[in-house]
């Protein structure tokens, strides 16, 4: 687009929007739909209650995870998937029972036919925003303010996946979220090769959604990963690239005016109190079903049957073989992880039941108020918080990608951040649950599968920074302690790191 007056926008504002990589036509189209009532009118989710862990609609995914189905059904599914009957499976009264050991074997055998997707999105405007990081209270923020101020400059305006995933015990920043993901994949490949031999084709191929604002920076990082001491030796041993991502690039859209300015909404043009200054935002991770459609079709076309999709900022989001096997045996289109909500879970979605017993994910803020969440909890409900992790059967999803992309509601929410008061239009990925005929909900251990970092404060608390400070509320301090223990288990387990001299390092000579 050439700078100039564009559909009522002044030339200076157009130049600013173009300089920020904003898709002006798309932004104006969404704005028009919002002002006409077509978008942004998605009402709050009316929760009738919250599901409980009953072993059927919501399945506990701990060490006792098992699956039991009729023999004929099990044999048909195994044959269709080309999988042998696991040694640990047992025949019990006309049903085949798959304990966790059998499920893990089946899931691992499916890794060459399963892709691993990461939602990188935009530049994480909330992550290092000082106002947003007050979510746990002023006193708590002051407890780790020094560490926040030291780390925030390295995180602002960067893809979150390239920012430190943790802080080392000696106070130094750890490796990035993406390096941890790439390392876990290479270690999973090493284990697979030792059990089943080298895969003939793919092995947990990575795919991602980037944005026009961060795609170049991500590409440069991936090229550099080939020489990373955390990845290079393992890549050489397994014969896999250190990091190679099939990518869908998400367009950026403009922020709109705050609801306090009335209707019709306009393009927000006073960022940081500067005239003709816009804000470039991703349109929510829910755009992934449109942005990643060509990638998912290509993966499916070369034999990939299943695909994980999750947020890059969750250290606990790693391949989980047993869950993959349960989905494959179930015949359902998708599965999602949920964990009991903790005081740190203030940004994200919860699993609710709506009228008619239908289940969906309601995002706190855009779809359900925090006050309503507290009302449900005060009534005795155990809130299952969405871990932003989905697993899809591509045989079901790929033919319906356009339908899903159109069906996700667009929600417009007010924001109050360092850059100003504005509104943001976005689609929430996990509202896809409302469009599915059925799905599996796994109830997981938060401190194993959901160590997320929506805010930099969460990264600091997960790393144990200031957990002993009396300004941290006791319940939050206990959550921080449990998260730190979970972080250490992940780093020393599936990520294969060792703690030495106050920092986490790769094992010497591991690729030998």
What are the distances in angstroms from CA 506 to CA 174, 188, 228, 315?
12, 15, 10, 17
Quick one: which H or E segment has residue 270?
none
Supply the pLDDT for residue 43: 59
Q: What are the helix (H) ranges across 82-241?
A: 100-109, 138-143, 145-155, 177-196, 215-225, 232-238
The label of the residue with tokens 């689609």 reads: 427
Dist CA 512 CA 509 (whole Å): 6
Length of the chain: 512
Q: If you average pLDDT over residues 378-392, what whole number do you get?
A: 89
Calculate helix-pair angle for 177-196, 215-225, nearest 10 degrees. 50
Question: pLDDT, tens digit, for every residue of 293-328?
Answer: 999 999 999 999 999 999 999 999 999 999 999 999
The structural domains of the chain, ordered by start, are: 11-498 (3.90.550.10)
| Region of poorest pLDDT, from 238-242, 296-300, 345-349 | 345-349
User: The whole model's pTM is what?
Assistant: 0.88
- In this prediction, residue 42 has a pLDDT band, given cuts at 50, 70 and 90, of low
Q: If you average pLDDT over residues 65-75, what whole number do you get?
A: 95
Output the average pLDDT for the chain: 90
Q: What are the helix (H) ranges across 313-428?
A: 321-330, 370-378, 394-397, 401-407
Dist CA 359 CA 356 (whole Å): 9
**What's phi and psi for 248, nearest 5 deg?**
-115, 130
Question: pLDDT, tens digit, for every residue of 118-143?
Answer: 998 555 567 888 888 988 899 999 99
Supply the pLDDT for residue 39: 56
Q: Is the model's pLDDT at 471 over the cut of 80?
A: yes
Q: If you average pLDDT over residues 459-473, what whole number do you get?
A: 92
Supply the pLDDT for residue 1: 47
Question: pLDDT, tens digit, for every residue of 183-222?
Answer: 999 999 999 999 999 998 899 999 999 988 889 999 999 9
Cis, peptide link before residue 487, omega less than 30° from 0: no
Q: Are 400 and 300 in contact (CB under 8 A)?
A: no
Supply the pLDDT for residue 451: 93
| Region of poorest pLDDT, from 74-88, 118-132, 225-239, 361-375 | 118-132
């Amino acid at each position: 687009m050439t700078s100039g007056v564009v559909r009522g926008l002044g030339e200076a504002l157009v130049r600013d929007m173009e300089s920020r990589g904003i898709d002006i036509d798309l932004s104006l189209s969404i704005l028009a739909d919002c002002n006409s009532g077509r978008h942004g009118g998605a009402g709050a989710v009316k929760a009738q209650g919250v599901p409980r862990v009953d072993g059927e609609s919501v399945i506990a995914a701990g060490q006792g995870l098992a699956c039991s189905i009729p023999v004929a059904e099990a044999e048909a599914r195994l044959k269709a998937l080309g999988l042998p009957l696991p040694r640990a499976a047992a025949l019990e009264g006309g049903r085949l029972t798959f304990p966790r050991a059998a499920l893990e074997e089946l899931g691992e055998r499916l890794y060459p036919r399963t892709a691993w997707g990461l939602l990188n999105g935009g530049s994480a405007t909330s992550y290092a925003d000082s106002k947003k990081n007050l979510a746990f209270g002023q006193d708590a923020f002051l407890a780790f303010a020094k560490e926040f101020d030291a780390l925030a400059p390295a995180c602002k305006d960067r893809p979150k996946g390239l920012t430190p995933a943790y802080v080392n015990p000696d106070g130094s920043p750890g490796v990035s979220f993406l390096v941890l993901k790439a390392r876990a994949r290479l270690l999973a490949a090493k284990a697979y090769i030792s059990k089943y031999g080298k895969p003939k084709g793919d092995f947990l191929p990575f795919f991602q959604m980037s944005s026009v604002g961060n795609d170049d920076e991500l590409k440069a990082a991936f090229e550099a990963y080939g020489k990373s001491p955390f990845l290079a030796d393992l890549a050489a041993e397994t014969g896999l690239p250190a990091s190679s991502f099939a990518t869908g690039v998400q367009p950026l859209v403009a922020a709109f005016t705050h609801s306090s300015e009335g209707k019709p909404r306009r393009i927000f043009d006073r960022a940081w109190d500067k005239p003709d200054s816009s804000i470039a935002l991703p349109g929510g991770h829910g755009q992934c079903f449109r942005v990643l459609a060509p990638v998912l079709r290509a993966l499916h076309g070369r034999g990939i049957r299943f695909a994980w999709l999750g947020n890059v900022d969750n250290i606990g989001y790693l391949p989980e073989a047993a869950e993959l096997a349960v989905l494959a045996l179930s015949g359902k289109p998708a599965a999602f992880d949920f964990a009991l909500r903790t005081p740190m879970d203030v940004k994200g979605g919860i699993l609710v039941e709506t009228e008619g017993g239908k289940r969906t994910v309601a995002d706190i803020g855009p779809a359900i108020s925090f006050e309503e969440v507290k009302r449900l909890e005060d009534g005795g409900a155990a809130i299952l918080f969405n871990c932003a992790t989905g697993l899809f059967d591509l045989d079901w999803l790929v033919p319906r990608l356009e339908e899903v992309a159109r069906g996700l509601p667009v929600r417009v929410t007010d924001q109050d951040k360092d850059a100003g008061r504005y509104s943001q239009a976005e689609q929430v990925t996990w509202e896809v649950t409302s469009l599915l005929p059925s799905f599996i909900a796994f109830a997981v251990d938060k401190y194993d599968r959901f160590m997320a970092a929506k805010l930099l404060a969460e990264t600091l608390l997960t790393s144990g920074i200031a957990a002993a400070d009396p300004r941290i509320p006791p319940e939050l301090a206990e959550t921080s302690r449990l998260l730190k223990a979970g972080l250490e288990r992940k780093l020393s387990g599936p990520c294969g790191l060792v703690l030495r001299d106050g920092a986490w390092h790769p094992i010497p000579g591991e690729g030998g």
